[in-house]
Chain A
Amino acid sequence: MSIPSAEVAADFRDALQDLKQNSRPEINNLTIIAKENTEHAQAISHELESHIKATRPEFKLPALYVLDSIVKNVGTPYTVYLGRNLYRTFMDAYLVMNESTRKAMEGLLRTWKQPVPESMDPRPVFSPEVTGDIENALNKIRSVQVQSTPAHRPVHALPPRPAAIAAWRNTPTPPQNGARQSASQDPRIRAPYPPVQQFGLYPPSMPAPNPYGQPQSQNEPVSSVDLEDLKTEVAKSISDSQQAFAYNPADANLKQRLDALIALKTMLNTKALTPASLRDIQTQIRNLAPLPGPAPMPTFNPPTSIPPPNMHSQLHSAPPVFPPASAPPINIAQLLANMRPPMPPVTNPAAAPSTPNLADLLRRVSSPAQSSSTPAVASFYPPPFPVPPPISTPVQAPAVPAPAPAGTPTANLAQLLAQFSKPAAAPPAPVTQPVPPFPVSLPQLLSQPPVAGPVPGSAEWLLNALKVLPTNGTPSNTTPMASEPMTRQSSAPTSVLNEVELTTASMKKPRLHLISRLYEAYSNQCASCGRRFENTPQGKEKKARHMDWHFKVKDPQNLKRAIHRSWYISEKEWVEYRETDETSPDEPTNGSSGTATAVKKQAKDRYVPVPQDAAIAQAPCAICQERFETQWLVEANDFVWMDAIQVGGKIYHATCWEEYSKGAGIPMPSTPERGVLGKRKAEVSTPTSGKKPRAY
């Protein structure tokens, strides 16, 4: 027995309480306490969380730097403990911060989505699920801010930082648990399952070079085009454009740009793109013309110029080891060995002389059957140097103008996106996609980032195919690999299950090889609730909506009002009800009720203008006795109460009234105003169901 946790925690707390500014030595000291007391990690993490929560806003940021230093320099188990409540810890602090401190926090968050710099561990500091939730929340907050302060946005100042100090790095590189990286094992074999294996948790963090020496925004590796970051940028462009569009509703170009951006967003969510194309897209987004009207200029980072190492390179970005169908049997062990990512990653996509241009790429992902008759346009390389955004480029139809040193990339983007959004170009699922007819080498295909589902013929796909094959029970590392698994691609699963007869005797047979259908077949797991998704574009899309749902549920706004049990729906409603779970897309699931329900608005998206009469403006909801939330609504161009409804001269929460009226059998009065929130949600494709009984 060493010192009790409480004592260590108290020491740590004392030291924390002295931390009143961004002081490197003090942060180091706290990090060392944490590092030397990992057995008390839980207590220390708890202290740190409570301190960040309780301390005055101006002391929160230094404390967050402590958190950052600990997770980067010590890593596990702190990443686990702190990751658990990171959403709360981060968001609670963020909400009370001023603008510049928020920026600094966003900088921290960005680094948490990356591996620890110079670390050999390719995993991000915190898992994407953890940072994704926060990222979602920030996006929403930003869009709300944009709405409530349409004419003004402060220029973000960088937070004050201590002068550069020597890199602090005294943690030896922890042994990497390679098991996590290794390919999944054959579930037929009982013995090989070690108690701890590929489903491990958060990465043990690697030592970090001092991230505090320089302003964060320049410190982050600008070369990396993170898919999530790009999505964030696109989302932001969308919201900025929407904003501008609200002020210039007649601007067709703006509308076109908006459509293009939304199409792009869908594509990012659903299509597998190479790092090179991601970078191209990013460059173009950043070079979009400034928006007209009172909408603020989006401030973007300078365009990237250094191609990223492939941050995603993992199991999926295997080197081309796939043999032709007629190849001789291959050794699975060898295959698995080959599938490990090269370490350190040496790929430099931009160095490849023939990086396909975006036009090609888009065509490739959107319609493989289409011939490449469209003349290839100029390549989409970023300009060799950052181009300052033009002051007032007039917007011309149909292209979205932008400074275009090499060709007219943005015009192409608009065209391409327009092309892409045509329903005719609806792409088949990549899993069933044949090898495209245009010149694309197998290595190229296989080096796609893991956003792609297993490419047919890829090592991962092969593994999956092998896994579901019937087995004689003997573990084998020399399973012959003929063309059979490939040709049976679609029929294989059925035939495997046909073998499971519905008889008492059949139930007793061990069929451990089938268990992969419950795990590996859905390899994309939500870290907050454990739900699994397929590692396909559709699965990703579902998961994205699912994460969005988690976000909404966690929204502190939701906790403000009393919640009660709803009435059960009637038999008729139930018979007609179609599940809309948190991953369902927006559209009504059955066509018949589509028009009726689409008009019907979500109660919480209803609003009334804040009453002029002071007495009424002070009155609470007559049902729950709680006050209304005032917020600025761009669309109404007024301060409004959201989730409010006026019935017979009284104002209620719309959701309160809905519950009440449902129980009492009173129809919901229809009001003319359109809910702007509902509209926005539809555009970013969050799961808003048009249906009244909502599966929240």
Chain B
Amino acid sequence: MISLPGLNLGAQPAEPLNVPALSATRTQDLAANTEYRFEVSFSRTLTLKLLSGTAEFLGTELAPASSYTFQGTKGAVFTWHGCKLEISGEADSEYVAEETQMMGYANAHFALESLREKSAQNCELGPRVLIVGPENAGKTTLARTLTAYAVKTGRQPMVVNLDPRQGMLSVPGSFTAAAFSSIVDVEEGWGSSPISGPSPIPVKMPLVYHYGLKDPEEGKVFKPLVTRMALAVTSRLEEDKASKQAGFIIDSPGGISQGKAGVYENIEHIISEFSVNVLFVLGSERLYSDLSRKYANRPTDEAVHVVRLEKSGGCVDRTEEYMKALRHAQIRAYFFGHGENTLAPHSQAANYDDLTIFKISDSTDNSAFGPDDDNVYAPTTSLYERITPSSSIVNSLLAITSASANDRQDTIRDSSVRGYMYVADIDEGKKRVKLLSPQPGQVPTNALVMGTFPEDVAALVS
């Protein structure tokens, strides 16, 4: 570990590890087509090992005799053929479910495969899938399962995450797109973006944008970013044969499925920008009926297959407290790595003048413009306000955009992100900022964007 002057960094989770010293190891037989559902909090760990048979976790097959350790996870190990699991550690809840939705998910995969086979023959774009549904309906679970099955079948699907509440290969608050050509991690969400050393599971290469708000309906950033990402993804797929045939899968936030009086503006926007042709609706009958009516009479070349899938009985509502812990774990993993694969972030110091920070202006609070700031952008557009560091930004994340400090606001908004820094401390007297950066090097002069989401992470640097 590198010594970091001035900061006492630790990768320790906020909550103390409270694992029972010697938790009983037990075995669990699962009959074919059943699943073992479990919830394990962030203060405990649960270790699973496949002793015999086959088993998969959200579609990714478990390796025989390897231990998988879960922390802060809710999920299920499903078996098509029957299996014996060895379980150690303490789950907050666990049970075996005989009734699952896996056949439906597998059918969805096979239907997509049928489309992919056709696209491969005709060198066309493969299925463009959007998954919608209310919160905790299992959208992300379905996206992961479909991705894992496609990868298993030798495809290279592109996955797009438009849900700011839970990051994919990056921190919460970001939107990402990445092609998956190697197995999806079992223990660490969607896996890891590249690191400077080897990773036990191949890393994925995401394209990252910063959204910085909690809900897709607020602000003026969601739609433009969707448009921008659709452009990037489409350009990539035009030339990238492997991903083109596999198509893409978009995971969406539950919020856009609420709609206003049966109108789902953001869903429609995503469908048109990404030319979505397969729409999976999880759970909600109402949403399904509204959307299938909406897309019923389209010309064949623009047809959208609206398909409803049952919500799994295993889906659990996640408390705000859990979601917050999940977000913090994702942010921590960005800087410090996950599990045994620890990363060494660097601490840096910068003068106030070295940093150009733009804060997304909260549309509900337009009066918050900094009076002490000669902000040239604020009058013309209300996207961002340039702020001077102050103790109020301690513990927040700064997105390092690829735009320069002088770029127009919409350029900054649309520019992809190179990484994130964390404001560890502010010395208002010396006008110095202590930053946590994923790597050593100069403090970037790029435009830095600070959102209102995710919330501050107090325990990241102690």
Residues of A participating in the B interface, judged by any CB pair closer than 8 Å? 42, 80, 83-84, 187, 190, 193-197, 199-202, 493-494, 497-498, 500-504, 506-512, 514-515, 517-519, 522, 525-532, 534, 549, 552-553, 555, 558-559, 561-571, 574-579, 581-584, 589-590, 623-625, 655-656, 659-660, 663-664, 693-696
Contact = CB atoms under 8 A, between A and B. Distances in A.
Q: Which of B194, B239, B343 counts the most chain A CB atoms within 10 A?
A: B194
Contacts of A187: 80-81
Closest 5 CB pairs of A and B: A530-B63, A563-B197, A497-B114, A565-B438, A562-B344
Contact of B103 (A510, A577, A582): A510
B64 interface: yes
A655 B106 contact: no
B363 interface: no
Contacts of A510: 103
A568 B206 contact: yes
Interface string B190-222: 000111111111111111100000000000000
Contacts of B402: 570-571
A553 B200 contact: yes
B417 A568 contact: yes
Interface stretch (B177-185, B351-359, B382-390, B425-433): B177-185
Contact of A498 (B61, B114, B308): B114
Interface residues of B, number: 99
B33 A563 contact: no
A695 B182 contact: yes
A655 B195 CA distance: 11
Nearest to B334: A565
A559 to B, nearest CB: 8
A564 B345 contact: yes
A578 B158 CA distance: 12
B439 A571 contact: no
29 contacts: A84-B66, A84-B67, A194-B82, A195-B31, A201-B52, A497-B110, A497-B114, A500-B107, A502-B278, A502-B305, A503-B307, A504-B309, A506-B111, A518-B152, A529-B63, A530-B62, A532-B152, A534-B154, A553-B198, A562-B344, A564-B195, A574-B232, A574-B236, A656-B196, A664-B441, A695-B204, A696-B199, A696-B202, A696-B203
Given A80-B65, A565-B193, A514 B104 contact: no
Contacts of B51: 80, 201
Nearest to B186: A530
A678 B81 CA distance: 43
B210 to A, nearest CB: 11
Contacts of B203: 695-696
A507 B29 CA distance: 28
A201 to B, nearest CB: 5
A620 to B, nearest CB: 11
B60 interface: yes
A236 B312 CA distance: 54
Interface of B: 1-2, 25, 29-33, 51-54, 60-67, 80-84, 103-104, 106-108, 110-111, 113-115, 117, 149, 152-154, 156, 170, 177, 179, 181-183, 193-208, 232, 235-236, 239-240, 242-243, 278, 288, 305, 307-310, 334-335, 337, 341-346, 400, 402, 415-419, 438-442, 444
Contacts of A656: 196, 440
A310 to B, nearest CB: 25
A199 B62 contact: no
A534 B154 CA distance: 9
A508 B108 CA distance: 10
A566 B193 contact: yes
B65 A202 contact: yes
A552 B198 contact: yes
Given A195-B30, A519-B80, A528-B63, A696 B344 contact: no
Nearest to B117: A494
A655 B64 contact: no
A696 B198 contact: yes
A201 B65 contact: yes
A695 B205 contact: yes
Given A187-B80, A194-B82, A624 B202 contact: no
B371 to A, nearest CB: 34
A83 B67 CA distance: 13
Contacts of A527: 63-66
A579 B344 contact: no
A571 B114 contact: no
A517 B152 CA distance: 9
Contacts of A512: 33, 80, 103
A529 B440 contact: no
Nearest to A193: B32
B199 A571 contact: no
Contact of B196 (A196, A494, A563): A563
B202 A663 contact: no
B64 A659 contact: no
Given A195-B53, A563-B341, 14 more contacts: A197-B53, A197-B82, A522-B152, A527-B65, A529-B66, A529-B183, A562-B2, A564-B343, A565-B195, A565-B335, A566-B438, A568-B170, A577-B236, A693-B205
Contacts of B103: 508-512
Contacts of B60: 530
B344 A571 contact: no
Given A500-B114, A504-B307, A511-B103, A590 B239 contact: yes
A523 to B, nearest CB: 12
Nearest to A198: B81
Nearest to A622: B440
Nearest to A563: B197
A568 B446 CA distance: 14
Contacts of B54: 199, 519
Contacts of A200: 52
A576 B179 CA distance: 12
A473 B376 CA distance: 71
Q: Which of A80, A201, A498, A575 counts the most chain B CB atoms within 10 A?
A: A575
A504 B66 CA distance: 37
A507 B111 CA distance: 9
Contacts of A193: 31-32, 81-82
Contacts of B65: 80, 83-84, 201-202, 527
A534 B195 CA distance: 30
Contacts of B115: 502
Nearest to B68: A530
Contacts of A583: 182
Contacts of B239: 575-576, 590
B114 A494 contact: yes
Nearest to A83: B65
B197 A558 contact: yes
Contacts of B67: 84
A530 B135 CA distance: 31
Contacts of A589: 242
A565 B67 CA distance: 25
B201 A529 contact: yes
B111 A526 contact: no
Contact of A564 (B108, B177, B438): B438
Given A195-B52, A579-B156, A514 B82 contact: no
A572 to B, nearest CB: 9
